[in-house]
Amino acid sequence: MPTVPTMPSLLRRLAGAFAFVAILRSAWHRRAEGEAAPDPRHEPDRVRAGVVLATIGGLALFIGLTFFGVTWLFGTFVSDRHALQESIHPMASGDAVPPRPRLQTDPTAELAGVRTRSARLLGGEGEGMPIEAAMAAIAARGAAAYAPLLPPEPPPRNRRAPANVGGRP
């Protein structure tokens, strides 16, 4: 049975093929231009000025376009926001009272009512238990104060493992 090559070995073979093609291509171009093959022990002493200038020009163009694009976008959105300012804020038209339904007519009185109800519940009136009594009940339980109130449920008795555990038949 033939073995299937693994992914890393395929990638290594593919990278080797690309490197071989690149070496052949560079040698072919050098021969076509009449240049001698460079000494593999030294780095080339020339820098392609066209490539460097093209890179710097492309970077400058990208930065300039980005700057002007962002400036245009900010100007557009800020002017739109000022144009829509009145429609966004209906209270800015001079009406001091918002339209109905007004959900809080007297917030101070409502807050006082909430505090009164909370104090009654914490004091033990109605369905609540006074805080002092609740703390005394917890303290009376001693070391078992935070133990579960109900015992845990026992596991089911007729529980079987699946037939094919671990991949064995």
Q: What is the pLDDT of residues 74-101, one digit of tens each?
A: 888 777 666 665 555 655 666 566 667 7
The H or E element that residue 72 is part of is: helix 49-83
The mean pLDDT of the chain is: 76
Query: What pLDDT score does 149 carry?
Result: 77
pTM over 0.95: no
How far apart CA 21 and CA 64 sit, in angstroms, is: 38
160: exposed, middle or buried (Cβ count in 10 Å: 0-12, 13-18, 19+):
exposed
Determine contact, residues 67/59, Cβ cutoff 8 Å. no
Query: What pLDDT score does 54 carry?
Result: 93
What is the share, in percent, of the chain residues with pLDDT greater than 90? 14
Query: What pLDDT score does 155 carry?
Result: 79
